[in-house]
Amino acid sequence: MPIIYDETEKIFMLHTPNTTYAFAVVDDCYLAHVYYGKRLHDTGIRYLLREEEPPFVPSVNRREKNSFLDQAWMEYPESGMGDYRESAFCMRTADGFRGSELRFASYGIEAGKPRLAGLPATWGAEETCSTLNVYCTDARTGVEVCLAYSVFEDVDVVTRSVTVENRGNESVYLEKVLSACIDMENRDYEMVGLFGSWARERHVQRLSLGYGRQNISSFKGESSHQEHPFLALVTPETTQTTGEVYAMNFVYSGNFIAQAERSQFDSVRMTMGIHPEGFCWKLAPGEQFTAPEVVLTYSDEGLGKMTRTFHELYRTHLIRSPWLRRERPILINNWEATYFDFDEKKLIEIAKEASQLGIEMLVMDDGWFGNRNTDEGSLGDWEVNESKLAGGLACLVEDVKKFGMKFGIWFEPEMISPDSKLFRKHPDWAIQIPGRDITQSRAQYVLDLSRQEVVDRVYEMVAEILRNADISYVKWDMNRQLTTMGSAALPADRQGELYHRYMLGVYQLQERLLAEFPELLLENCSGGGARFDAGMLYYSPQIWCSDDTDAVERLAIQEGTAMVYPLSCMGAHVSACPNHIVGRNTSFETRGHVALAGTFGYELDVTKLSAEEKELIKEQTVFYHRYHALVAEGDYYRLLSAGETGGADSFLVVSKDKSRALLFYVQVLARANRKNRLLRLQGLSPEKMYRVCGKCYTGAVLMYAGLNIKLLQGDFKSLLWEIEEITE
């Protein structure tokens, strides 16, 4: 059984194929974490709670409840009652008092996995997934908290979410509702996170975990360029292939906090959930609040196994798009080719040339609507600018289709320009604090998507464009963070709900869009990669990875992204050189190799390329179709990190049956007087015989002895080698 409750030991055991997660009822009322790690086959582990040690449980030592609460491994810790470590739950009553005592009341086990209302979440069929619901109640207020745990029979993951229901007679105010907590013994853990900024998102950083609290967080209204809703604790010896890893990833796209805390008693508390900054949710009698889902995984085979677990979960239990396993059309986006300076003739010229090279879709980016000739206005006025597109959008789409190409379009539905018809008509629809200037960013404001009338109006404007033209793809952008948080539609005691209600509005918009246009290929974007998260993957099978398309810069960005998310999710394009952000010149071949590790497309003016570059595009498009399924669905093995080696970057994608693999290798900087590199591969079958570049090797030789990689001449050089099983 994947989930059991031992009535004698009063211990819950959740089993995945290779791991066990356990917690227990202590003193008939508290929930205490017991164990998370390699799979166990018995329940006799209650001794790990150390109940026989001081300060003992409160029913035994009635004078030291405070000490018990401040050192026990709590499954869902609360504030205000004596646990001074980071809490997961904080509630304020109508008369202003903070504190709660959530006591275990009951539990239930069900097949499958219920949806989280209005929220993205993993899903599982009754045959492959089970869910444990543990109910705890606060006697003073009548508030009930349901801790939900789901386990999957095909992947080593436990998911957690929390639902709070007010069954009392008075309103309460939720000031913190995190989604997951794990307490465990410290083992000199190090903390791994993903950090960066615009154009350099999700760089891997590893730090020692000292006493006190270290967190990764965002209260920008989005998961952000700067920090990412992922946290892993690793033992000091951990590499890609060895060591223990405890990891959390948040299925949410708004404010978050992920924190690790080492206590005075050398225990470690790991928490994740909605950031409490700016959050306060009024829960009236009879109302519920559901916190988003956290994905937990444990690996005893290093970061590589953790990565492959996340990839498999998201491919099989999160992404719903019909495009998940389809070959996605190779697109060309006109943004870096034209910026705002285009008309229908220029777009048709690009489409005609691109179609002859194997490119399959034209995407029209910003500048096609309202009076949008710069980024100073017209957001919110989603009407085609026919002075740019003579004959209208439908006419342009049909002209592009004549070349055998699909058509895609860019929107930024969440924003509104001060210089727009919509703002002049509805100035109160912008998020703002009365009496204060609205903080501008990129000359735009943010629409108040906590209001249903705003959501409905935005949806109808976007949907009307899609109804009137044959559009296959939408790039959904969001180019600024949230500030001056105030809603004209929320009462004073509900203003703290705006951040989360805004996010629910975004999710509703995308859910409605996919319901009406189920074949639509949706790609999310946020000024590049500021909202590349598991929440967005629930709606779109791919997300624009970063506005920085330079192949060398992309090595670190795509390495960090691929640590958690499948390659098939990463929007990656070949762009022009010198690169528009860093000014670097990189070979067309290397740009192609790096982009082929993602969804693949082009971001340049194809009409200005040389004959040689056009021939390379023909080769790259053929290569994409040949290897798409392998890159999209194969197992990912990180071999070298340019950030660590300074000289080379490499990874391998291996088919599930281990019959094929694709080796990506980039030499970042050439170095004098060096020998060739022996690169040890991973993930192959030791017994099988493989062909690489015309030579034959056993999998054992390739993995244990290594493949000889010759030094390449010049900086920013790359190779892409196919590895095939020899069967004859």
Q: DSSP assignment, residue 427?
A: G
With contact defined as beta carbons under 8 Å apart, do 308 and 636 qualify? yes
Tokens 């030291």 label which residue?
64
Q: Tell me the per-residue pLDDT of 657-676, one tens digit each, with 9 for 90 and over.
A: 999 999 999 999 988 888 89
- Side chain identity at 704, as an amino acid letter? Y
Q: Tell me the per-residue pLDDT of 251-263, one tens digit each, with 9 for 90 and over.
A: 999 999 999 999 9
pLDDT at 1 over 90: no
Q: What is the pLDDT of residue 675?
A: 87
pLDDT band at 428 (very low <50, low <70, confident <90, very high): very high
Cβ-proximal residues to 548 (8 Å cutoff; 6+ apart), any chain: 199, 200, 528, 554, 557, 579, 581, 582
What's the CA gap between 582 and 369, in Å, rounded? Answer: 30
Instruction: Tell me the two tokens of residue 410.
Output: 């860019």
Question: What CATH topology corresponds to 638-725?
Answer: Immunoglobulin-like (2.60.40)
With contact defined as beta carbons under 8 Å apart, do 253 and 503 qualify? yes
Superfamily designation of domain 3-317: alpha-galactosidase from lactobacil brevis (2.70.98.60)
Of 22, 622, 576, residue with least CA distance to 332 = 576
What's the CA gap between 329 and 38, in Å, rounded? Answer: 41
Q: Which residues pair with 111 in a beta bridge?
A: 130
Q: Where are the beta strands (DSSP E) in 114-171?
A: 129-138, 143-152, 158-166
pLDDT at 117 over 80: yes
Q: Is there a cis peptide before residue 413, judged by omega within 30 degrees of 0?
A: no
Q: What is the pLDDT of residue 728?
A: 78
What's the CA gap between 381 and 417, in Å, rounded? Answer: 9
pLDDT at 151 over 90: yes
φ and ψ at residue 496, rounded to 5 degrees: -70, 0
The reply to whether 547 belongs to the active site is yes
Cβ-proximal residues to 491 (8 Å cutoff; 6+ apart), any chain: none
With contact defined as beta carbons under 8 Å apart, do 393 and 469 qualify? yes
Instruction: Tell me the two tokens of residue 681.
Output: 């591969």
Cβ-proximal residues to 60 (8 Å cutoff; 6+ apart), any chain: none
Q: Where are the beta strands (DSSP E) in 620-688?
A: 635-640, 648-654, 660-667, 677-679
Q: Tell me the per-residue pLDDT of 603-651, one tens digit each, with 9 for 90 and over.
A: 999 999 999 999 999 999 999 999 999 999 999 999 999 888 778 999 9
What's the CA gap between 604 and 205, in Å, rounded? Answer: 32
Q: Which residue intervals of the chain bear CATH 3.20.20.70?
A: 331-417+453-481+516-632
Q: Which residue intervals of the chain bear CATH 2.70.98.60?
A: 3-317
| 331-417+453-481+516-632 to CATH, choices 3.40.630.30, 3.30.530.20, 3.30.160.270, 3.20.20.70 | 3.20.20.70
pLDDT (average), residues 395-422: 98
Instruction: Tell me the two tokens of residue 326.
Output: 């389809």
Say which of 138, 547, 548, 550 is annotated catalytic: 547
Q: What is the pLDDT of residue 58?
A: 86
Q: What angle do CA 597, 601, 607 make, to 5 degrees?
A: 140
Cβ-proximal residues to 272 (8 Å cutoff; 6+ apart), any chain: 178, 179, 180, 229, 231, 248, 250, 256, 257, 258, 259, 294
Tokens 């205000």 label which residue?
80
Q: What is the pLDDT of residue 324?
A: 95
Q: Tell me the per-residue pLDDT of 560-592, one tens digit each, with 9 for 90 and over.
A: 999 999 999 999 999 999 999 999 999 999 999
φ and ψ at residue 690, rounded to 5 degrees: -125, 150
Q: Tell me the per-residue pLDDT of 459-506, one tens digit each, with 9 for 90 and over.
A: 999 999 999 999 999 999 999 999 999 999 999 999 999 999 999 999
Cβ-proximal residues to 511 (8 Å cutoff; 6+ apart), any chain: 539
Residue 602: in which H helix or E strand, if any? strand 601-603
Mean pLDDT taken over the chain: 96
pLDDT band at 400 (very low <50, low <70, confident <90, very high): very high
What's the CA gap between 16 and 36, in Å, rounded? Answer: 11
Of 463, 451, 344, 366, residue with least CA distance to 417 = 366
Instruction: Tell me the two tokens of residue 666.
Output: 């980039």
Q: Tell me the per-residue pLDDT of 42-76, one tens digit each, with 9 for 90 and over.
A: 889 999 999 999 999 988 988 999 999 999 999 99
Q: pTM (2 decimals)?
A: 0.97
The length of the chain in residues reads 728
Q: What is the pLDDT of residue 526?
A: 97
The reply to whether 156 belongs to the active site is no
What's the CA gap between 285 and 175, in Å, rounded? Answer: 17
Say which of 138, 477, 548, 635 is annotated catalytic: 477
- Side chain identity at 143, as an amino acid letter? V
